């Protein structure tokens, strides 16, 4: 039953709420929920990564500004809707895009600008560590960034005192606690499923590998402590409260749950933490998370092994590129519309153009594109060159153009998923999808079902996103029954009455995507040629 306005006002005043703040790749979002998991208020801050000195990054200043802006907008909405000045909440959780590299010295100073998951600069380190551990180490993992910095003999390495992710940094900044949720920890260093901590044998191997450098640290000394969902992870400090709410209204002492990665919050937001379930998150990147019943038979460079927020093993297929190039084309169409004197809002623009894809040839009419704004690990392309190609015989119209850009958004993901479903015969009962592409009903969901040949469900809560999922994790910490598991909490409390729309694969879409993928794989040589011959400033 939905709470009344009066009840909500009292709940806010008493702190019977939970706050989730997630640092996504294009937006920082704050979501405040009540004990029935309904959103009370939200706020956001738009941002974009920048390519500086060869690294994709966000500035430390913008990280803090974005945090404060998103919180302030949420707080203002609370004031306007309920007439309450927000002074406390029941629990808080922070999440962010996984992986990457944030290294600090003893005084807490950031040694090099934040290196995000998007960087494909750690190939040598990732390959060597994968061979050493006999465990796939993706290029974007924190340990790959650290070892690449060692291989590059970067001068900051001996001075590292703490190494964490963006979510871990925000949590540390606001609480003073150097901890991390196990899902995000799994993007720092391999996790031992039995101990729910970093793999001790591999950690010893790493220390032996780097011993000749005589650094004044061992790896374990640098990394945050691993915590499971539901565990207490510290309290908001007075300094942290002043950072989050510079107006000074927010009171310290609020309990925080373990910080998590956006993959973990995606699993929570789609109720996909049970074995044989999975979810797909679509945004700047695209990733599928499949909760496994058993280990894979071998190591695959296309498959990351991570965990759910409560520590179950997960096979993750992560493609660096998804919707960014599609969004760029939408921006071009918006410019055309405005130049013609027809202003169109974003929702209508996306709805009209995406729905054209349903009128297209199933394979996109012979067209081909690669939305590679950055390198793509699954296909072995180490730099980004967005590319659109057609032959004289291609059927070049708007419908096929739009469908091609949706098809290619799932191209690299398809290659990774085929390993799980065809080679490893992984059983998947359900896949739930979420992300901005699904705000336009049917189109993206239908094409994705055809791409993977698996039924795809979009839930009514999917639009809430990772910040909502993080708020759920914060609520779980303080509202769970004694001994209650995360999957039970989600099934019986959060999603008990949730509605979802399932679309099963259409054989025409399945066959059309197969034809497109033959073109996609064959055309990778064209994409590599663009990398080889077109410099980043556009000159040959």
Residue 350 lies in a domain: yes
Residue 451: which residues within 8 A CB-CB, separation 6 or more? 407, 410, 413, 414, 509, 513
Residue 152 lies in a domain: no
Residue 66 lies in a domain: no
The pLDDT, as a whole number, for residue 463 is 56
What's the total number of domains in the chain? 1
Residue 393's domain spans which residues? 324-409+507-533
pTM for this entry: 0.83
* C-alpha to C-alpha distance for 125 and 138, rounded to whole angstroms: 9
Per-residue model confidence as pLDDT tens for the chain (540 residues): 567 888 899 999 999 999 999 999 889 999 999 999 999 999 999 999 999 999 999 999 999 999 999 999 999 999 999 999 999 999 999 999 988 999 999 999 999 999 998 888 999 999 999 999 999 999 999 999 999 999 999 999 999 999 999 999 999 999 999 999 999 999 999 999 899 999 999 999 999 999 999 999 999 999 999 999 999 999 999 999 999 999 999 999 999 999 999 989 989 988 999 999 999 988 888 989 999 998 899 999 899 999 999 999 999 999 999 999 999 999 999 999 999 998 778 889 999 999 999 999 999 999 999 999 989 989 999 899 999 999 999 999 999 999 999 999 999 999 999 999 999 999 998 799 988 888 899 999 999 999 999 999 998 765 568 899 999 999 999 999 999 999 999 999 999 888 889 999 999 999 999 999 999 999 999 999 999 999 765 554
Residue 246 lies in a domain: no
- CA angle 407/411/415 to nearest 5° reads 145
Residue 343 lies in a domain: yes
Q: Name beta bridge partners: 50.
A: 57
The pLDDT, as a whole number, for residue 536 is 66
Residue 93 lies in a domain: no
Residue 355 lies in a domain: yes
* C-alpha to C-alpha distance for 193 and 199, rounded to whole angstroms: 8
Q: From residue 227, give the alpha-carbon distance in Å to each of 195, 250, 410, 418, 444.
A: 11, 26, 33, 32, 35
Residue 244 lies in a domain: no
């Amino acid at each position: 039953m939905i709470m009344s306005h009066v009840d909500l006002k009292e709940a806010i005043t008493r702190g019977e709420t939970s706050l989730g703040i997630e640092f996504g790749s294009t937006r920082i979002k704050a979501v405040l929920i009540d004990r029935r998991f309904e959103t009370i208020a939200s706020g956001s801050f738009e941002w974009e990564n920048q390519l500086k000195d060869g690294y994709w990054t966000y500035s430390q200043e913008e990280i803090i500004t974005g945090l404060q802006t998103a919180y302030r907008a949420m707080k203002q909405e609370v004031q306007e809707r309920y007439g309450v000045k927000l002074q406390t909440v029941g629990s808080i959780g922070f999440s962010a895009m996984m992986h990457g590299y944030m290294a600090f010295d003893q005084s807490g100073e950031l040694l090099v600008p934040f290196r995000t998951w998007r960087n494909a600069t750690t190939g040598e380190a990732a390959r060597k560590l994968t061979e050493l551990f006999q465990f796939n180490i993706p290029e974007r993992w924190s340990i790959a960034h650290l070892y690449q910095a060692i291989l590059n003999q970067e001068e900051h390495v001996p001075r590292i005192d703490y190494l964490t992710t963006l979510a871990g940094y925000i949590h540390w900044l606001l609480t003073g606690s150097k901890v991390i949720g196990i899902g995000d920890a799994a993007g720092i260093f391999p996790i031992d499923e039995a101990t729910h901590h970093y793999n001790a044998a591999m950690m010893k191997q790493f220390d032996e590998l780097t011993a000749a450098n005589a650094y004044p640290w061992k790896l374990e000394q640098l990394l945050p402590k691993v915590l499971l969902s539901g565990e207490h992870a510290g309290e908001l400090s007075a300094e942290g409260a002043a950072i989050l709410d510079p107006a000074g209204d927010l009171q310290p002492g609020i309990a925080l749950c373990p910080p998590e990665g956006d993959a973990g919050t995606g699993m929570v937001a789609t109720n996909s933490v049970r074995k044989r379930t999975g979810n797909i998150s679509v945004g700047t990147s695209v990733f599928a998370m499949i909760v496994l019943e058993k280990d894979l038979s071998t190591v695959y460079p296309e498959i990351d092994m991570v965990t759910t927020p409560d520590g179950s093993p997960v096979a993750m297929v992560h493609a660096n590129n998804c919707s960014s190039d599609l969004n760029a084309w939408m921006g071009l169409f918006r410019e055309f519309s405005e130049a013609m004197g027809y202003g169109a809002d974003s929702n209508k623009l996306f709805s009209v153009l995406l729905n054209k894809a349903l009128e297209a040839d199933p394979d996109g009419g012979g067209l081909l594109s690669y939305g590679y704004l950055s390198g793509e690990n699954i296909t072995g392309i180490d730099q980004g060159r967005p590319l659109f190609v057609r032959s004289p015989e291609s059927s070049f119209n708007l419908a096929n153009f739009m469908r091609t850009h949706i098809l290619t958004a799932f191209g690299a993901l398809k290659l990774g998923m085929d390993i799980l479903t065809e080679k490893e015969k992984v059983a998947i009962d359900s896949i739930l999808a979420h992300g901005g592409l699904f705000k336009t009903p049917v189109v993206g969901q239908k094409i994705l079902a055809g791409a993977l040949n698996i039924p795809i469900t979009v839930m009514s809560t999917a639009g809430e996103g990772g910040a909502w999922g993080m708020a759920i994790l914060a609520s779980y910490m303080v509202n769970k029954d004694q001994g209650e598991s995360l999957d039970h909490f989600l099934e019986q409390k959060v999603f008990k009455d949730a509605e979802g729309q399932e679309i099963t694969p259409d054989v025409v879409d399945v066959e059309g995507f197969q034809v497109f993928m033959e073109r996609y794989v064959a055309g990778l040589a064209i994409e590599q040629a663009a990398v080889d011959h077109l410099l980043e400033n556009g000159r040959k």
